Amino acid sequence: MSPTRKAIARIVTASKQNVPHFYVKITIEAKPALDFYEAHKAEIACSLNDVIVMACARAIREFPAFRSRLEGDDVVTLPAANIGIVVATEDALVVPVVRSADSMTFEQLAREIGRILAAAREGKAEGLGEGVFTVSDLGMYGIEEFTAIIHPPEAAILAVGAVREQVVVRNNVLKPSKTIRLTLSCDHRLIDGVMAARFLARLKELMENPSQLA
């Protein structure tokens, strides 16, 4: 194993052995977020994942437990939504961090994400260990849903699946739709089921009404 792979193995093994994970899932209507992204991409080099990170940052600002960590027997709540983004490099995964994502405009956030991801692929991952929450997106590979392992000492990680074309029922009428499956892994020592459900409900609201992110 390479040194990087050894480090990953050590971190994920410790996380699964020592962190009491639980999982909650939700399906969101993707079209509003896709329209929001399409409306901005001519001016900003952005992606759907940027919209998801922006929505997470807004929700994390409202739910302090999602920016908390355990230090011994103490719960420490951090002041900003520093969000890690999982990036695949040539031989491993790294998680660079966007600092204070909740204080940025969408344009600022998209540019900062683009910058830190480019740096990470060149071996310069920024903000390692400073994150409060991580987003892991496998949608570009067609993966519909998955569960992710929490990146200690963070309290949660969001797994993002692919955009899927589906038929949904609205007002007793079948209509075509595009959906995304989100799976939230939480540390049960810091977050309970009701809080996780409320967080995902708020995230769904933001994603389906992205004008709130502007």
Give me the phi and psi of 183, to 5 degrees please: -125, 120
H helix intervals, the chain: 3-18, 31-40, 48-62, 106-121, 193-208
Q: Is 40 labeled as catalytic in the residue annotation? A: no
100 and 54 in contact (C-beta within 8 Å)? no
Instruction: Give the span between the Cα atoms of 78 and 130, in whole angstroms.
Output: 10
β-strand partners of 29? 179
β-strand partners of 75? 70
Burial class of residue 205 (count of CB atoms within 10 Å of its CB; 0-12, 13-18, 19+)? middle
| Composition of the chain by helix, strand, coil, percent to 5 | 40, 25, 30
The residues assigned a catalytic role are: 188
